[in-house]
Amino acid sequence: MQSICTKVNDWITYIGVNDRLKPLFENQWPLPGGVSYNAYLITDEKTTLMDCVDMHESERFLSNLQSALGERTLDYYVIHHVEPDHSSTIPLIKSLYPNVTLVGNKKTFEFLENFYGLKQDHRLVVGDGDTLSLGQHELTFTLTAMTHWPESMVSFEPHDGVLFSQDIFGGFGTLDGTIFDDEIGDLQPVYDEACRYYTNIVGKYSKMALRNIQKLAGLDIKMILPVHGPVWRSYPEKILKLYTNLAQQQSQNGVVIAFGSMYGNTEKMADLLGRFLAEEGVKNVQIMDITKTHASLISTEIWKYRGVILGAPTYNNALFLPMKHLVEILSENKMANKTLGIFGNYSWSGGAVRELKAWAETQPFELLEPVVEVRSAAKGEDIEALRALAKAMAENLASHAETDNVKYYAV
Ligand code: FEO
């Protein structure tokens, strides 16, 4: 098999792989652009594998590893994160290199035993601030619990300022020949998929993520090597800033109207709201159909903007099912710094608006008045109520204008 190894510098080789077969990350988040599993080999007085890949891509990965190792054997294997997209190749590595020393923290080994029954391995247990000399280069470990899992940790090599950041600073999407940030050209799709990755995979743990990112920001980082997405060798400050904005749950000025509609009447209300917001001078309005756009894309847009307006019909005396799914995801992601509007269709019994209002009470959002509920199709007074909701949203956004002037990508 032809291996693809790319020199990052004179002591690190990229040996990761792309995955274009897996349809869903964690079997729930769509991967229209695939995903990369990044792994690196350090060649020093000791050889050290930095993370692994998903088992079903092991053949190409092993080819890369063996090619990069040449005649040498593997001395260390640093396990920054045990989620199986990075760790399921561990038993194979152990069988090929039985004398390799696994490096992880206490929780790493607890999880490895739970997942793979690894007990009798050569191991080095490290803690926060511990170091490991590989010869010319020394790694310092920082525990980054809950970014993404409890055992997550990163390592830093101070001489060249290299941060092996595991999931942190990662994103969905394959590396299409372009391993490095400066090879890509238009970075917007990378930023978009980093936002979707952060919101849905890490977002729930933002408080801890922010603490971890701030801890790392104090290092003299010159290059970031994550386990997903490009290697940031020219613009590490850009992905650091984007992740900081995400973890701080900064709001941009704008509104996401997320609606579901069975026969177009609730959709018409969404369109009216969009027009009324524009007439009020609100910029950055997006109208998203929850039945046609995956919830992970909608939740990502909602994460970035202050305003969110949810609208749905009543279905069998209750909330339209796709909207139930969306609000569950918003709750799960622990959204903050939001101003919420609600509209919906009573149908013959009501239920959608009642459930959305009950859900809103569980969220740390500012709920706007009026909440608009119509009977089957919006008419005169309903349309005026929608206009009033748009006006209330515009005023609310204006009141937050000073703090909401962040631009997620303006770095
Ligand atoms: Fe890429 Fe949390 O695993």
Tens of pLDDT, residue by residue over 382-392, are 999 999 999 99
pLDDT in tens, 137-183: 999 999 999 999 999 999 999 999 999 999 999 999 999 999 999 99
In the predicted structure, residue 407 carries a pLDDT above the cut 90: no
Q: What is the mean pLDDT of the chain?
A: 96
Cα of 83 from ligand 1 centre, angstroms: 5
pLDDT digit string (tens) for 113-122?
A: 999 998 877 9
Report in angstroms the alpha-carbon separations of 275 from 114, 270, 291, 307, 386: 54, 9, 21, 15, 10
Separation of CA 357 and ligand 1 centre (Å) = 34
Contact 301, 307 (CB under 8 A): no
Average pLDDT rounded to a whole number, residues 100-122: 93
CB count in 10 Å sphere of residue 244: 17
Q: At what angle do helices 295-304 and 188-197 cross, to 10 degrees?
A: 100
Q: What is the dihedral of CA 259, 261, 265, 267, to 10 degrees?
A: 40
Backbone angles phi, psi at 342, to 5 degrees: -130, 135
pTM of the model: 0.94
pLDDT band at residue 286 using 50, 70 and 90 as cut-offs: very high
Q: Would you place residue 411 in the very low, low, confident or very high pLDDT band (cuts 50, 70, 90)? A: low
What's the pLDDT score for residue 118?
A: 87
- Residues 347, 314: contact at Cβ < 8 Å? yes
Cis peptide before 98 (omega within 30 of 0): no
CB-defined site of ligand 1, < 6 Å: 81, 83, 85-86, 148, 167, 227-228
**Residue 285: pLDDT over 70:** yes
What whole-number distance in Å separates Cα of residue 7 and Cα of residue 289?
44
CA angle 224, 229, 235 (to 5 degrees): 40
Read off the pLDDT band of 408 (50, 70, 90). Answer: confident
216 C-alpha to ligand 1 centroid (Å): 18
Element (H, E) at 319: strand 318-319
pLDDT tens digits, 185-208: 999 999 999 999 999 999 999 999
Atom of ligand 1 nearest to the CA of 166: 1
Q: Which residues are within 8 A (CB) of 84 and not within 5 positions of it... i.e. 6 or more apart?
A: 54, 55, 115
